[in-house]
Structure 1
């Protein structure tokens, strides 16, 4: 009896597990419900392989990865490989109804992609509704064999995943918010590798412990998998040396506090030079406006070997929730290596100069509890999620799924960060994309607005890394602010925060054909419509074109 090629890959993966050096890495992700106890309550959660957080995906730069995802829950699911370039593999990017229809209950899909020119820390997560609250995990991309890190080689590596926890089912939380038109309930706790540590609502809650040996160097791969909170990360009595963010090396710098928005990763070196003792690990939220957030501090411990169990914990100062200056210092410290081995290929010429205003507002809603509904928009367009995947509609020329008339600038300019808003500023709905020619260069200024309340927005671009060339407060002034852009060694990222009542400028080259989602990575804002997509046309020949869809692509 002959085996199919999928069966053959499964057979090979049994002979050669994923941790063995190879050109093809095969993983099986089974989506199942698992009963778990957190915050003194028990509830079933949606997990991958019964783990929370989910399994870590290990590979090396330029490895090909195949992940067979099998859905055994009642929800439709997808997996997004956050930050993976997906060069000509857009069918496997994962956002529901953008690049694929979701995997329905009882169905499976084989994701097939390559880590082209990437090394470092990323994450994977569900990309439909709010399932990523419990469906997430780490991606570790090691350098090629024989290629050293551009920093001192660590003795050990540790993965630290930051998250949020709701006592209630998060699908029920978001569905109730959609029906009422109100903001959803904030989370009940912040977590470190799935545990909150002792908190006021459950003093017996377990805590993550990082065990270390004295005089060792640890590479900490820190991931913010939270749904709606930007987070500070601190270890009492220890500094951290940042060496990489979003799978891109940076010029090393020392800090006692990391700052990560949802979807961002930061890799840092920790030197265990304090002898013996137990030290608090703390994660706490950032919000410098009047928007409600979960204010509980997630706690864990760094513990040196041979430390007596009764020794007191060394504490640390938690940053204020509105520590804006701390976030600014962290962002301004990030610089690309811009070396011969890792050059910063910043586009110096621009084909598309775009201005996207982003923010939240209130629209009338006859069926909602208060007669109104919270909405979010880019350039006053609230995105309507289609019922057919946009990438499939683009490839097959299916009409009526999307339009390619997304505005490249606000249709009605106004004082974006001021206190007055034009009365005729009406939010429009639509499934709109912005079309880009292959290899064209883009400068995108993301401008926060104050229509309802100014807020920091971590924004994520699928399919590309970009360079963060500038940021500032107030309204962007092209004549003045562009002169200050860093076009030499700006940090390279896939997710960037737009400061409250301010702006961020990024540049990228549209060298990846397909349809690529762009959205706020605060899940509440994505739910409200703060999202759009870029459509990158094919170039010349098959190496610059989107290949046909796989035969097992899920159907709507």
Structure 2
């Protein structure tokens, strides 16, 4: 309901899109409910001239590595029940390329794990994707090191590490040389656990095997990988450096937004409710204290193209939160008097609105309201320059001076660290936000394709999420509510 209606059962739709100017690893996934956890795959874009034109040594083999999670509960049910409480539902296992690994068993029999066969001396390009719903993962191969060469389909200046941290939605391309003594070595994917007083949830480690073809005796280095959790920290997250210099010092910023990320509650019936009673409120994620509400009749992009009522129902995303407070005060994680004052929020169909070609700077600020976990932020249809990130509250007076305007990394997903912030900059040229038409034919929003999915009100076909009968709010700014 943002770019289109959902594809209904027994129907299909073919996506046609342009990847000119992009190289590397991306991925595709479902956008309905929590189905992203199971419906996804790699999308690999190679140079026109083939692997020989990579800006790093040509690998002997390329291997997609998809980290995911496995749920016992039906994912549509997970989505429905999370409206009551985010923290009661979590995956039962983790996977590497769909394999559970020998840490899990069914009826007492260890599950098969992912196996990567390698040959001594050869180089492997691992195209790593985190397709899990929520967890950041630490990835380690015992006895081996990674040379990171790209992130989010953007090349980086290669650097070497023995540990990769990857957030949901991120991709990392890394070279691994099979230069260890022949044997078997654990490949371990370990979900990150937030610190207390965060709600502690089960985090399921999984592991596969890197196996040398010329020798099949068990290796002795598996425990090294399992110890990686004790030595890893949030400060070890992947820090990328770009291949080409991207000097932004002369780039004029047209729009500034400061966006807080947190949780809140909305009353299920009417404007007022008893927030101490769980059955009277829904727990929602918010940006600047507003929770996004899907339109119920016409997708936003279609309404924008045809200049029909959907635009009138849009709320402009506020440029800053409604009140200033100590965003990273850990006491706000636990329900209390101060937290109760900040918890009430609203729900609306909202979007920023930019002129074509506008340079937009956003600071995402993590908050401690009911949680203090990290937040991966993904920008559809754009790449963004990551200017800086830090812990605590963003302070423009000192933090702007830290911005990397000479050679900032270019990504499409960036992690806002636990109780921290990240500053990004991008050029608005794609109508994923509401972006006005540009001055040329190539910068106009194209019409919907002839086989564009139509919305059906048939109760047997439309997912539950699209039966929300909340009335449209015909205002232009959130402060008018």
TM-score by length of 1: 0.74
Contact 1:352 1:442 in 2 (8 A): yes
Contact 1:337 1:344 in 2 (8 A): no
Q: Which residue of 1 aligns with 2:335?
A: none
The structural deviation recorded for 1:184 is 4.4
Work out which of the residue numbers 24, 33, 50 in structure 2 matches 1:129.
Answer: 33
**What's the secondary structure of 1:114's corresponding residue?**
coil
User: Residues 237-260 of structure 1, C-alpha deviation per residue, up to 9 Å, x if partnerless?
Assistant: 000000000000001111001011
**What's the secondary structure of 1:110's corresponding residue?**
coil
Judged with a 3 Å threshold, the aligned counterparts in structure 2 of structure 1 residues 110 and 182 are, in CA distance, closer, same or farther, namely: closer
Q: Which residue of 2 aligns with 1:396?
A: 306
The structural deviation recorded for 1:335 is 0.9
> Is 1:306 the equivalent of 2:214?
yes
> Is 1:435 the equivalent of 2:353?
yes
> Is 1:554 the equivalent of 2:461?
no
Contact 1:224 1:263 in 2 (8 A): yes
Q: Which runs of 5+ in 1 are unaligned?
A: 1-96, 517-533
> Is 1:330 the equivalent of 2:229?
no
Q: Which residue of 2 aligns with 1:209?
A: 115
- Summarize the alignment of residues 354-365 of structure 1 with structure 2, pairs less than 5 Å apart: 354-365=257-268
- Summarize the alignment of residues 164-313 of structure 1 with structure 2, pairs less than 5 Å apart: 164-178=69-83, 180-181=84-85, 183-202=87-106, 203-289=109-195, 290-308=198-216
The structural deviation recorded for 1:291 is 3.2
The structural deviation recorded for 1:182 is 5.3
- Summarize the alignment of residues 51-66 of structure 1 with structure 2, pairs less than 5 Å apart: none
The structural deviation recorded for 1:375 is 1.4
Q: Which residue of 1 aligns with 2:291?
A: 382
Judged with a 3 Å threshold, the aligned counterparts in structure 2 of structure 1 residues 391 and 201 are, in CA distance, closer, same or farther, namely: same
> Is 1:409 the equivalent of 2:409?
no
> Is 1:536 the equivalent of 2:435?
yes
Tell me whether 419-428 or 500-509 shows the greater mean CA deviation. 419-428
Q: Matched residues in 2 for 1:119 and 1:170: separation?
A: 32
Judged with a 3 Å threshold, the aligned counterparts in structure 2 of structure 1 residues 249 and 411 are, in CA distance, closer, same or farther, namely: same
The structural deviation recorded for 1:364 is 4.3
Q: Matched residues in 2 for 1:285 and 1:405: separation?
A: 35
User: Residues 154-174 of structure 1, C-alpha deviation per residue, up to 9 Å, x if partnerless?
Assistant: 111111100000122222222
User: Residues 174-202 of structure 1, C-alpha deviation per residue, up to 9 Å, x if partnerless?
Assistant: 22333x44534110111000011012554
**What's the secondary structure of 2:352's corresponding residue?**
strand
> Is 1:476 the equivalent of 2:407?
no
Contact 2:265 2:343 in 1 (8 A): no
Q: Which residue of 2 aligns with 1:25?
A: none
What do you get for the CA RMSD once the two structures are aligned?
A: 2.2
The structural deviation recorded for 1:410 is 1.0
Q: Matched residues in 2 for 1:304 and 1:511: separation?
A: 47
Contact 1:459 1:498 in 2 (8 A): yes
Q: Which residue of 2 aligns with 1:466?
A: 384
Q: Matched residues in 1 for 2:342 and 2:215: separation?
A: 65
Work out which of the residue numbers 260, 272, 282 in structure 2 matches 1:373.
Answer: 282
Judged with a 3 Å threshold, the aligned counterparts in structure 2 of structure 1 residues 310 and 273 are, in CA distance, closer, same or farther, namely: closer
Runs of 4+ aligned structure 1 residues displaced above 6 Å come to 344-347
Q: How many residues align?
A: 435
**What's the secondary structure of 1:252's corresponding residue?**
strand
Q: Which residue of 2 aligns with 1:61?
A: none
TM-score by length of 2: 0.85
Contact 1:346 1:508 in 2 (8 A): no
> Is 1:496 the equivalent of 2:407?
no
Q: Matched residues in 2 for 1:123 and 1:485: separation?
A: 29
**What's the secondary structure of 2:56's corresponding residue?**
coil
